[in-house]
């Protein structure tokens, strides 16, 4: 179990990591999700022991490892740029951590072959990394990480430099590959889509703070605050600021959006409503009234259409099934399902969570 308690990292007066407290269990896959420069790499470096926190403590299985350097920590790390020893063959690359640890040759051979098998590298064992494709180079780096049998494996956007389809393939394989070792996995990414596909737990990061941590699908469906909801949305979250009066949120043009049942008691005030693009639709759902919005652009992805809409001064994206052919500047009627909206108060905190929690 890896515990971070109130960890802060300040460099040259700027806070790279602010007061982070996290508990990661053995055998879990944890995703660090956030835009670039949100602190994902800094946090991973602190977990690995490459950097020392300015404040706070880090515990591994109950033992305080805050000042312990990375060589003593039994950590494996995989980077975005395929980092391999260029002069060694794939076999030697994978064997290197074992050689450093002084393991017997017979055991090295067995472990290397096992890792190569797992990552489909067996036909390439004699090649040097420069003679491999990008995907194969990254697989070599991954094999080197597995063979170490580390208790903590850190992956810093490992698939970002790979082609789309290769990324899909490797991403599907990763959980299986690491499942057996029982280590703690930490995977950093900027793509919400990737977090959802990997599953496990997700910690959303924004400007050095962890805004929420929990099972991925829950953080996605029930964000605690607006920042988490926005970090976790791809396409970007649709938002609009609305006043609440009585049992309705009032939209422009006299249209009312009923307040969801669980939130009936909240004060009459201005709230930010957030909703995912697929909760906006062309057919009525629940008890929402039609909203007349103007189409600005259309994007077709084969089986679905992304319709970019302008409403009042908000810009929204609607995900519609099938191929639509709206013209730009055309007005369409769309419906919002009140059961699926997220309501945030003026400080950005989720109202639903406040009620439940």
Partner 1 sequence: MARIDLDHIRHAYGGNRGPNAVYALKEVHHSFEDGGAYALLGPSGCGKTTLLNIISGLIHPSHGKLLFDGRDVTELSTQERNIAQVFQFPVIYDTMTVYDNLAFPLRNRGVPETDVDRRVRETLDMIGLADWAKRRARGLTADQKQKISLGRGLVRSDVNAILFDEPLTVIDPQMKWVLRSQLKQLHRQFGYTMIYVTHDQTEALTFAQTVVVMFDGEIVQIGTPAELFNKPKHTFVGYFIGSPGMNVLPARVSGKTATIGSQTIELPGGTGSSGAAKLELGIRPEFVRIGTTGMPASITKVEDIGRHKIVRANFEGQEIAAIVGEGENIPADAKIAFDPAGINLYADSWRIEIGA
Partner 2 sequence: MDKTWNNRAWFMVLPVLVLVGFSAVVPLMTVVNYSVQDTFGNNVFFWAGTEWFEDMLTSDRFWEAMGRNLIFSFIILAIEIPLGIFIALNMPRSGWGVPVCLVLMALPLLIPWNVVGTIWQVFGRVDIGLLGYVLNAVGLDYNYVNDPVDAWFTVIIMDVWHWTSLVVLLCYAGLVSIPDAYYQAAKIDGASHWAIFRYIQLPKMNRVLLIAVLLRFMDSFMIYTEPFVVTGGGPGNSTTFLSIDLVKMAVGQFDLGPAAAMSIIYFLIVLLLSWVFYTVMTNYGAESRDG
Q: What angle do CA 4, 5, 8 make, to 5 degrees?
A: 90
Beta bridge partner(s), residue 350:
344
Based on CB atoms, which residue is closest to partner 2, 69 or 123? 69
Out of partner 2, partner 1, none, which partner does residue 51 contact, by CB within 5 to 8 A per kind? Answer: partner 2
Based on CB atoms, which residue is closest to partner 2, 67 or 253? 67
CA dihedral defined by 185, 186, 189, 192, rounded to 10 degrees? 70
Based on CB atoms, which residue is closest to partner 2, 134 or 290? 134
Out of partner 1, partner 2, none, which partner does residue 192 contact, by CB within 5 to 8 A per kind? Answer: partner 1
Helix axes 134-147, 105-118, angle to 10 degrees: 130
Provide, rounded to whole angstroms, the least separation between the CB of residue 72 and partner 2.
Answer: 9
Out of partner 1, partner 2, none, which partner does residue 193 contact, by CB within 5 to 8 A per kind? Answer: partner 1
User: Residue 256: phi, psi to the nearest 5?
Assistant: -115, 145
Based on CB atoms, which residue is closest to partner 1, 49 or 223? 223
Among 51, 12, 20, 56, smallest CA distance to 38 is for 20
Q: Which two tokens stand for residue 56?
A: 């706070």
Based on CB atoms, which residue is closest to partner 1, 96 or 136? 136
Report whether 235 contacts 307 (CB < 8 A). Answer: no
Provide, rounded to whole angstroms, the least separation between the CB of residue 97 and partner 1.
Answer: 29
Distance CA 10, CA 54 (A): 6
DSSP sequence for 284-352: --TTPPPEEEEEEEEEE-SSEEEEEEEETTEEEEEEEES---PPTT-EEEEEE-GGG-EEE-TTSBBHH
Helices vs strands, H then E, count in the chain: 9, 20
Out of partner 2, partner 1, none, which partner does residue 302 contact, by CB within 5 to 8 A per kind? Answer: partner 1
Out of partner 2, partner 1, none, which partner does residue 197 contact, by CB within 5 to 8 A per kind? Answer: partner 1
Residues that bind partner 1 (CB under 8 A): 35-36, 133-134, 163-166, 168, 190-193, 196-197, 199, 217, 220-221, 230, 233-236, 276-278, 296-297, 299-303, 306, 308, 317, 319, 323, 328
Based on CB atoms, which residue is closest to partner 2, 67 or 246? 67
Out of partner 1, partner 2, none, which partner does residue 300 contact, by CB within 5 to 8 A per kind? Answer: partner 1
Residues that bind partner 2 (CB under 8 A): 11, 49, 51-52, 67-70
């Amino acid at each position: 179990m890896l515990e971070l308690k109130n960890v802060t990292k300040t460099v040259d007066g700027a806070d790279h990591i602010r007061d982070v407290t996290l508990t990661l269990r053995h055998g879990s896959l944890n995703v660090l999700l956030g835009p670039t420069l949100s602190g994902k790499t800094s946090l991973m470096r602190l977990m690995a022991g490459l950097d020392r926190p300015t404040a706070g403590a880090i515990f591994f299985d109950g033992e305080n490892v805050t000042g312990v350097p990375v060589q003593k920590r039994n950590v494996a790390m995989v980077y975005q740029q395929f980092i391999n020893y260029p002069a060694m063959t794939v076999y030697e690359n994978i064997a290197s951590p074992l050689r450093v640890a002084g393991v017997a040759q017979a055991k090295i051979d067995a472990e290397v072959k096992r890792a190569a098998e797992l990552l489909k590298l067996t036909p390439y064992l004699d090649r040097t990394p420069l003679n491999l494709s990008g995907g194969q180079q990254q697989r070599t780096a991954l094999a080197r990480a597995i063979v170490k049998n580390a208790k903590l494996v850190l992956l810093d956007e490992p698939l970002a430099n790979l082609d789309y389809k290769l990324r899909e393939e490797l991403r599907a394989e990763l959980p299986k590959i690491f499942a057996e070792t029982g280590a703690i996995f930490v995977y950093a990414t900027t793509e919400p889509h990737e977090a959802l596909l990997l599953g496990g737990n997700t910690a959303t990061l924004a400007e050095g703070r962890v805004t929420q941590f929990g099972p991925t699908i829950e953080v996605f469906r029930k964000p605690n605050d607006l920042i988490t909801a926005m970090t976790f949305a791809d396409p970007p979250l649709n938002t609009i600021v609305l006043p609440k009066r009585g049992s309705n949120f009032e939209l422009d043009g006299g249209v009312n959006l009923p307040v969801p049942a669980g939130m009936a008691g909240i004060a009459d005030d201005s709230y930010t409503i957030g909703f995912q693009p697929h909760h906006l639709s062309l057919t009525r759902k629940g008890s929402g009234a039609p909203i007349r919005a103007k189409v600005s652009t259309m994007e077709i992805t084969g089986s679905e259409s992304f319709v970019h809409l302008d409403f009042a001064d908000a810009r929204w994206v609607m995900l519609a099934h099938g191929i639509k052919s709206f013209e730009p500047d055309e007005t369409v009627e769309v419906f919002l399902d009140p059961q699926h909206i997220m309501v945030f108060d003026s400080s950005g905190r989720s109202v639903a969570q406040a009620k439940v929690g």
